[in-house]
Structure 1
Amino acid sequence: MTAWNADTEAAATESGAMTVVEGSSFCISSGTGDIAADGGTNGAFYQDTRIISRWVLRINDSLREPLGAQRPESYRAVFVGRARWPGGRFDSPLVVRQERHVGPGLQDDITLENYSSEPVDCDIELLLDADQADLFDVKGGRVAKSATVNRTVREGELVLEAVRNGQRRGTAIRARGAFATESSLRFRASIPARGQWSTSIIVVPLINGEPPAEPFTEATRPQHRTGARRHRDWEQAVPRITVTDSNVQNVLDRSQRDLGSLRIFDSHHRDRAAVAAGAPWFMALFGRDSLISSYMSLMVDPGLATGTLQTLAGLQGKVVDPDSEEEPGRIPHEVRLGITAGLSLGGTAYYGTADATPLFVSLLGELSRWGLTDDVIDALLPHADRAMEWIEEYGDRDGDGFVEYQRPNPHGLINQGWKDSWDGINFADGRIAEPPIALCEVQAYVYAAYVGRSRLARCAGDAATERHWAAKAAALKRAFNDRFWLPDKGYFALALDKDKTPVDSCTSNMGHCLWTGIADADKAPAVAARLMEPDMFTGWGIRTLASTMGAYNPVSYHNGSVWPHDTALVATGLMRYGFVEEASRVASALFSAASHFDGRLPELFCGFDHTEFPGPVPYPTACSPQAWAAAAPVQLARILLRFDPDFTRGVVHLAPILPDSMGDFRAENVHLGHARVVVEARDHEGLLTGLPDRLEMIREPRPPLDQDLAVGEPVQGS
């Protein structure tokens, strides 16, 4: 079984590797386009199974000389190389173009161009294999050798199948003009002078002998597939952003493209898009990651949040199962389709997370402020209520009012918050905290869930339910500020451990408490100041753990690194409580960091101070693109605009505080309810065009403490 607590990081890929992705399918190859038999984690993957493990093109008994590789779209790559001329002619005029499309399988269009004035005959061989290994095993370097791959050649098609744990997975590979063997496709090409030769390699995955609904075919050009059309439609539908600062422009443009590439679609609801966690290894639905990513992407497309909620609702827990950690009302942590994953999860879904369930409710409450239609909310409301029941019946294990976690099996995640590495929760002196553990940010998310459910009740005219959840929110806030506050340190404890002892390390988690509003107003200044101290703020972002703590390691996964999504949520919290200068500094730092990653923020980077190196130091196994890293710049833009719609009150706040270096900002086609509005800002002046009649623009930031709840408690804001 997969040891979940040892499998939270991404696996390393080859330096210079090319990754193309569409939905949950992806392909990792070398920069030449080849996939070597011993390529480690390289391969083409469909439904968490490696359908191609070897893909090596040889022309005239030689590999290609690589000339370049490009990725025009997330799902398409183009490789250019030079092939050996028969007899070994120097400076060969044979150019190889290879265009790869990934989706429900793979299609490679290969063209040989002869720039010589004489014809040439070429022997072409594509060496192939498909080990049908599970993604978890590939990622962890645990590929089993026991399964026998059956190789069948029929009517020019090579079929590679293996039976693993009772399920038959296979790959069918064909090409026009090919002679198929049990390990290759071979061609003999006669290319005229100044002419060319081409073929298309079609790869079709098989599950128990059946192909996917829309496989690649010779009859349909790959750019006409559903996946390619979805990508083009996304490009047309998202906001068109113009910013004077070219770096910010580049970062936001790239974020939008990456979010589009990380969408996955429910096979039973093909118009329903959810957000996968990240490429390549986490192209799957993750409760926490997908919910937070879609929250931070609201200004790009609120539909991502809707689709994520609807998809997760269909997977909500129904029974108690200690193996998968499913419980009634619980929102899953991760959904996988591979065989080994299914064994380790106790099914296709694993539920071991403490935070996805309250985040589900809080996001639904937030969407009501963005004009989500009543019919969608009404359909999701029963799921929100089941989630609330989980919080109180299963999440709060000992009845103390706080949600704790402790895995009930030996293979689940030891830590079940966003810092889910085995050593991610520790005291100031470096000691590991022991479960059951109640994390500070989980209580903040529960608070946001109570507030969100109260808001939903208010929208429905249900005063009694509104007051009930508002009172729960107020009670939790009082208890949290009493038990988690460390007056001698001036910040909130990371957690309470098994003995209810505060875990006293200084971490970024407390910034999430500002984000949701659970922190008392009188404690917020101390928290803000502590987050901006040099041992927390690197100049590129906020460290996960202060450099003065015992477990600090700038090159660790969770104990001193910088995670862009985490930093963006901290900045959101700072802005919420009115720390405008601090929030702006953090936002500007993260935009600056992005410029060192060619505009694409990775999952995380190392926690070295900005004075130590010319730029942020990459973390070696970080996912890129990764959903909440891609969404972080969108959230930063929103907080700098102080753009805060609220259909429940009929207002939208726009009170920009853009840094001078950013210049003018304009976003056309921003979704707001059923309308598309234009958001413009310069310095501290903002303008909204196309606003629905029912909304009034307010040129002031939304007050951090909103007295509209029945008990006068603050509500979740941006």
Structure 2
Amino acid sequence: MNAGDPAPHGQGQVTIVEGTTFSICAPSGDMEPGGAQGLFFRDTRIISRWQLRVDGQAPQPLSVVDADAYAARFMLRRQPAAGHADSTLLVVRERCVGEGMREFVTLTNVGREATLVHLELHVDSDFADLFAVKEGHAGGSATHSTASGVNLVFSRPDGSRGLLVHATGEPTSTHNGLSWQVVIPARDEWRTEIVVHPVVESRRIEPRFRDHMAPEEAEAHTWRRNVTSIRAQHQDLNLVLRRSVRDLDALRISTGEEPGQTFVAAGAPWFMTLFGRDSLLTSWMTLPLDPKLAVGTLHTLAALQGRGVDPRTEEEPGRILHELRLGPQSASALGGTHYYGTIDASPLFVALLGEAWRWGAAESDVRALLPAADAVLAWLDGYGDRDGDGFVEYQRATDRGLFNQGWKDSWDGVNDAAGQLAEPPVALAEVQAYAYAAWLARADLADAFGEPAVADNCRQRAEKLRARFAEAFWLHDEGFFAIALDGRKRQMDAMSSNVGHCLWTGIVTDEHAERLVARLSQPDMDSGFGLRTLSDRSGAYNPMSYHNGSVWPHDTALCVAGLMRYAHIPGAVELAHRLTAGLLRAATAFGGRLPELFCGFAADQFHPPVPYPTSCSPQAWASAAPLLIVRAFLGLDMNVPRGELVLRPRLPQEWGTVTLDRLPFNGSLLKITASGTEAEVQGLPEPPNVSG
């Protein structure tokens, strides 16, 4: 199914998203009360009921078209008259979101005589917090509603949130909706426009729809036309790449205070906000597409970096934020609006800063961010290393925080081969790998800015960590790394996908990498649709779980990038190609959009892949995963300050030609064309410094 093709009726819920605004609805366009559907703005459900009725009945859905993540068109028809198989009234709902919502309803009479239509729109709001909706206990908080002419007004009793609904076509309004009585001549149509304005602290928010923006705002939304174009001859890959770029565009959020500083929200519907880990990894994956996303993410997180110690929010000096929340109940969710309970965002911050420098971030930006990076490294040495053994560990500060604080942050996400849970404090394998990358990144920055003593110290720290990691985490008899060390320094010996992240950062020695590649190649890890998060031989394995046997596209992509880093190891490239082929098969089954995760059943058991019921879609690092894979197969790296470009292509033969156009490099825009192990670069500044 192409990105703009109609989705069959009954395919499930439809999510459309733009920044911090998103809607979840049925294929009819209705938002049904009593569940998770609705229109959400800044972590609050501002519409809990939005139902269209034609002559007292729900119209019949025909198709859904959602060519862009922020808009959708719902095709319906009036229920046929009694005794008739066909209908003569087409109902089209065109919806877009952007700091509010706009919906056009067009009624087209295809019959031979005029028709009388009674149209109703039932509207309600509960102003529920996003997490209350997600967890299924939104209480339906009392609201006050009024009707005035063409307007409906809803408000929370405390005045913190409100809603204004305005419609054209001279409707009749009541406290719970709008209605129209219209006569439509034969072969003619009638249309109304309905606009939803959120209200925050008594201030009405003006919606910002892309097709109605001022010229300067519209310029900011030409992002897709300005970033690197990535195309492939391979039809399925090209579909996935197009969809990924569209979704990443919709997930971009500006801080407001600095419009040029943009980051990517974690994902719709439940995580349309800043997440340290997710936003950092996503902007790393999207470096070939738009390096500015990394800079915006780093600045945004640096401004929110921990300053003091607060057990309620788990804030500590130098610690990088886990998530930012804006909903009406945020103060009681995970300790507050700013929650710091993540172990991996901090080292990833420093690692990304070094990578952004290599990819052309301005020296002024990097110098401005160095104090934040050094504060992170101080945190790694202090609060991050709870027992002074050189590893970075986590243990929540109170019973309100996340029990597990790595990317597998579900309560049962870290366990041993028998399925026993890790007791805190926990040192995760991939977190040590991220810390290794952070020390090396800071060393490179020190070299660039004339700090030789700092560079030497950071490299020594990295090499010491690499040696300690190999000694403490390696399971010699099994041929892989433990997922973690628990509070007693016991190796948690479950075979997990986390080891792929270790390959990605380069902390793994070649000796261990050879056995690790062989172990990852076994069918207990490769589902045929991507890498399982946990071996199907493990005691905690459950293909329908969140982290214990499911497939996460970003996780598979990081493993693929890790395998390509060790392309000289026998079998690494072949496994990377195989995992990617499976992931592309899964992507096409999901209409070209990779979801946050899906169930880990084997491909020869169930095809297409089985969806995970509460998976985010679109989701940032899932959308970015194909970009990282393309970069890995191109062997694409750069060091802009040194004028160096590296290309070592090992593309799957079935991909044919892959083309990157408008790739920024040292003041020029490059065009790279590659197939197999060959590549051509156009537009290099003189003198070129290319290795391959």
TM-score bracket, shorter-length normalisation:
over 0.9
Does structure 1 retain, via aligned residues, the 8 Å contact 2:54–2:119? yes
Asked if residue 29 in structure 1 is aligned to residue 22 in structure 2, the reply is no
Does structure 2 retain, via aligned residues, the 8 Å contact 1:299–1:638? yes
After superposition, where does 1:200-599 map in structure 2 within 5 Å?
Answer: 200-212=193-205, 214-215=206-207, 222-224=211-213, 229=218, 233-578=222-567, 579-599=572-592
Q: Deviations over 1:108-158 (max 9, x none)?
A: 11121222333333222211101111111011101124x321112235421
Moved more, 372-381 or 572-581: 572-581
Paired position in structure 1 for 2:3: none
Query: Displacement of 1:695 after TM fit?
Result: 4.8
Change (3 A) 1:108 1:534: same
AA partner of residue 356 (structure 1): A
Does structure 1 retain, via aligned residues, the 8 Å contact 2:437–2:505? yes
Change (3 A) 1:615 1:88: closer
Paired position in structure 1 for 2:665: 672
Partners of 1:159 and 1:89 in 2: CA distance: 40
Does structure 2 retain, via aligned residues, the 8 Å contact 1:173–1:204? yes
Does structure 2 retain, via aligned residues, the 8 Å contact 1:564–1:603? yes
Partners of 2:690 and 2:556 in 1: CA distance: 29
Paired position in structure 2 for 1:149: 143
Does structure 2 retain, via aligned residues, the 8 Å contact 1:654–1:687? no
Aligned CA-pair RMSD: 2.0
AA partner of residue 143 (structure 1): A
Asked if residue 628 in structure 1 is aligned to residue 621 in structure 2, the reply is yes
Partners of 2:462 and 2:342 in 1: CA distance: 21
For residue 611 of structure 2, the aligned residue among 615, 618, 627 is 618
AA partner of residue 623 (structure 1): C
Moved more, 665-674 or 414-423: 665-674
AA partner of residue 676 (structure 2): D
After superposition, where does 1:155-174 map in structure 2 within 5 Å?
Answer: 155-163=149-157, 168-174=160-166
Moved more, 18-27 or 674-683: 674-683
SS at match of 1:278: coil
Q: Deviations over 1:460-489 (max 9, x none)?
A: 111111112111111111111111112222
Change (3 A) 1:606 1:172: same
Equivalent pairs: percent with the same residue?
A: 47
Does structure 1 retain, via aligned residues, the 8 Å contact 2:31–2:50? yes
Does structure 1 retain, via aligned residues, the 8 Å contact 2:91–2:106? yes
Does structure 1 retain, via aligned residues, the 8 Å contact 2:266–2:273? yes
Partners of 1:262 and 1:130 in 2: CA distance: 24
TM-score (norm 1): 0.91
Paired position in structure 2 for 1:192: 185
Change (3 A) 1:440 1:227: farther
Partners of 1:694 and 1:137 in 2: CA distance: 58
Paired position in structure 2 for 1:705: none
Query: Displacement of 1:83 after TM fit?
Result: 2.4
Query: Displacement of 1:381 after TM fit?
Result: 1.2
Does structure 2 retain, via aligned residues, the 8 Å contact 1:86–1:122? no
For these two proteins, the number of residue pairs brought into alignment is 678
Partners of 2:81 and 2:490 in 1: CA distance: 75
Partners of 2:641 and 2:220 in 1: CA distance: 32
SS at match of 1:285: coil
Query: Displacement of 1:370 after TM fit?
Result: 0.7
Change (3 A) 1:518 1:336: same
TM-score (norm 2): 0.94
Partners of 1:625 and 1:425 in 2: CA distance: 26
Paired position in structure 2 for 1:71: 66
Moved more, 491-500 or 75-84: 75-84
Change (3 A) 1:490 1:167: farther
SS at match of 2:468: helix
Change (3 A) 1:597 1:148: closer
Query: Displacement of 1:292 after TM fit?
Result: 0.8
Partners of 1:33 and 1:531 in 2: CA distance: 43
Partners of 1:128 and 1:198 in 2: CA distance: 19
Partners of 1:230 and 1:624 in 2: CA distance: 27
SS at match of 2:352: helix
After superposition, where does 1:677-716 map in structure 2 within 5 Å?
Answer: 677-693=670-686, 695-699=688-692
Gaps in structure 1 of 5+ consecutive residues: 1-13, 700-718
Q: Deviations over 1:179-237 (max 9, x none)?
A: 2211111222232232222111111111121112x336xxx985436899368512212
SS at match of 1:283: coil
AA partner of residue 456 (structure 1): L
Moved more, 78-87 or 622-631: 78-87
Does structure 1 retain, via aligned residues, the 8 Å contact 2:635–2:650? yes
AA partner of residue 72 (structure 2): A
Q: Deviations over 1:573-613 (max 9, x none)?
A: 11112233332332333223322222222211222223323
Does structure 1 retain, via aligned residues, the 8 Å contact 2:210–2:221? no
Moved more, 352-361 or 483-492: 483-492
Paired position in structure 1 for 2:167: 175
Partners of 1:185 and 1:645 in 2: CA distance: 58
AA partner of residue 528 (structure 1): V
Partners of 1:597 and 1:56 in 2: CA distance: 27
Query: Displacement of 1:431 after TM fit?
Result: 0.8
SS at match of 1:96: strand
Q: Deviations over 1:50-76 (max 9, x none)?
A: 111111112222221222221121111
Does structure 2 retain, via aligned residues, the 8 Å contact 1:103–1:227? no
Query: Displacement of 1:104 after TM fit?
Result: 1.0
Does structure 1 retain, via aligned residues, the 8 Å contact 2:16–2:97? yes
Partners of 1:192 and 1:490 in 2: CA distance: 75
AA partner of residue 328 (structure 1): P
AA partner of residue 152 (structure 2): L
Partners of 2:201 and 2:533 in 1: CA distance: 45
For residue 661 of structure 1, the aligned residue among 645, 654, 671 is 654
Gaps in structure 2 of 5+ consecutive residues: 1-9
Partners of 1:357 and 1:572 in 2: CA distance: 21
Paired position in structure 2 for 1:117: 112
SS at match of 2:383: helix
AA partner of residue 509 (structure 1): N
Does structure 2 retain, via aligned residues, the 8 Å contact 1:238–1:256? no
AA partner of residue 161 (structure 2): R
Partners of 1:120 and 1:548 in 2: CA distance: 64
Partners of 1:668 and 1:520 in 2: CA distance: 35
Paired position in structure 1 for 2:102: 107
Partners of 1:418 and 1:628 in 2: CA distance: 12
Partners of 1:518 and 1:496 in 2: CA distance: 17
Partners of 1:287 and 1:307 in 2: CA distance: 12
